[in-house]
Amino acid sequence: MLKWIYDLSYEELEKDIAHLYLPRFVADQVCRWLYEKNINDIACWSNISKKNRETLSQTYDIRLNKVLEVQADREGNRKYLIELKDKYKIEAVLIKEKKHFTMCISTQVGCALKCKFCATGRMGFKRNLSSGEILSQALLLKKDAAENSAPGQKEKINIVFMGMGEPLLNYENLSRALQLITSEKGIGISPRNITVSTAGILDGIKRLEKDFPRLKLSFSLNAPAAALREELMPISKKEKLDDILAYFRHTPRKHRVTFEYVLIKGVNDSLQDAEKTAALLRGIPCKINLIPYNPGGSGVNLESKVLLAAKRLNAPPREWGFETPAEPEVEAFCEYLHSRGYTVIIRWSKGREIKSACGQLATEI
């Protein structure tokens, strides 16, 4: 069986190349074709001899995962439905910003955390993505971004790990993928242009900050009171908010932590919630992103799928009653935090039209 090349770290590839009795520099050449030029047809690798190319094609499968469907909206955001080898499907999103692209990448098929407001949570957890499956999303989207940019123009790329899944519950594969995404031998995206978003897995946060100190971290706060947070995000019964905040407060870091806050009408969007949030985050160098709730679900045949999923999970009715707050409420929440000295950005999510905004990623599995 051929080895899927994207699952190999640079060091593993180097070792393989030595075992195949190929010159050492071939590892660099292969990486350049795969990650810098993003050309995955061995026949085109012109600086590698025909004989060596033959050896490579007898050893490696270099096909990226298959894109089943691309949905684009009028603003130039694109959502990709990607099929994995075992036929599971994941989604990734390319967001068009003014001067750059942001890739939103998945780390798991489904998610185990069951946050009440999130469509991925309703799918349940299927499996972790391999490092190659994470990396492969970045390569697919990079290729597509290049094809959709003006000729000769090199678009800057940011990555956010805010797709399906909890990145820090797949730490090994996330960090292997990050090595190749950030390294000069790989895609070469600077860690300061990469954000990992977590619902709050404290051990994972500590490891990530130790292994990748220049990376940016987002923490999904979503409620300032522990009881409400535990209801919305069951993981926080185990991973205590106080412990996480104490860690943020006492550990120096390169970038400010971003606190994500999904605003849900009548649930966590009152001025008292804003006051509590302001008090809670006092003393932590941070930014706050307010994300007005995006109605859940995604993909084809949304209604029936959500209902089926609901039955499967025996979901309490409250899950389905969430609504997006009106603009003045969102503004007032923002204004209050602002008045307390916080940097706050409202993220009226991009990609709602194609159901690719935060919390809307879910696939038929």
Angle in degrees, CA 269, 271, 276, rounded to 5:
95
Task: Give min distance, CB of 319 to ligand SAH, in A.
Answer: 11
Site pattern 268..307 for ligand SAH (x: CB under 6 A): -----------------------x-xx-x-----------
The β-bridge partners of 90 are 82
Q: Which of 259, 286, 272 is nearest to 332 (CA)?
A: 272
Residue closer to ligand SAH (CB basis): 27 or 267: 267
Q: In the complex, what is the shortest distance from the CB of residue 120 to ligand SAH, in angstroms, rounded to a whole number?
A: 7
Q: From 210, 97, 92, select the one nearest 162 (Cα to Cα).
A: 92
270-279 long-range contacts, CB within 8 A, separation 24+ = 271/332, 271/333, 271/336, 273/223, 273/224, 273/225, 273/333, 274/332, 274/333, 274/336, 274/337, 275/336, 276/224, 276/225, 277/221, 277/224, 277/337, 278/336, 278/337, 278/340, 278/342, 279/224
User: Which x/- pattern, by CB under 6 A, does the window 305-344 give for ligand SAH?
Assistant: ----------------------------------------
Instruction: Establish whether 91 is a catalytic residue.
Output: yes
CA distance 104 to 299: 16
Asked if residue 262 binds ligand SAH (CB under 6 A), the reply is: yes
Q: Quick one: 71 or 220, whose CB is closer to ligand SAH?
A: 220
353 part of the active site: no
Work out whether 220 is an interface residue with ligand SAH (CB under 6 A).
yes
269-276: list long-range contacts, CB under 8 Å, 24+ apart.
269/325, 269/329, 269/330, 269/333, 271/332, 271/333, 271/336, 273/223, 273/224, 273/225, 273/333, 274/332, 274/333, 274/336, 274/337, 275/336, 276/224, 276/225
Q: Which stretch binds ligand SAH (CB under 6 A): 72-80, 127-135, 144-152, 192-200?
A: 192-200
Under rule CB under 6 A, residue 260 binds ligand SAH: yes
Query: Which residue, 65 or 222, has its beta carbon nearer to ligand SAH?
Result: 222
Which one of residues 90, 123, 141, 162 is an interface residue with ligand SAH (CB under 6 A)?
A: 162
Q: How far is Cα 1 from Cα 14, in angstroms, rounded to an integer?
A: 19
Among 33, 45, 80, 117, binds ligand SAH (CB under 6 A): 117
Token reading at 354: 């194609």
Amino acid residing at 77: N
User: Which tokens in the block code for residue 25?
Assistant: 């520099």
Q: Which of residues 118-137 bind ligand SAH (CB under 6 A)?
A: 118
Q: Which of 104, 111, 115, 358 is catalytic?
A: 358
**Residue showing the smallest CB distance to ligand SAH in the complex:** 359
Cα angle, residue 353 at apex, residues 361 and 105 outer, rounded to 5°: 35
Nearer to ligand SAH, 52 or 356 (CB): 356
Closer to ligand SAH by Cβ: residue 3 or 265: 265
Binding residue (CB under 6 A) for ligand SAH from 166, 239, 269, 273: 166
Among 175, 309, 359, 362, binds ligand SAH (CB under 6 A): 359
Stretch that binds ligand SAH, among 63-71, 134-142, 191-199, 272-280 (CB under 6 A): 191-199
* Residue linked to tokens 């050893």: 59
Considering the candidates 91, 133, 166, 260, report the single residue annotated as catalytic. Answer: 91
In the complex, the residues that contact ligand SAH under the rule CB under 6 A are 117-118, 162, 166, 197-199, 220, 222, 260, 262, 291, 293-294, 296, 358-359
Q: Report the catalytic residues.
A: 91, 358
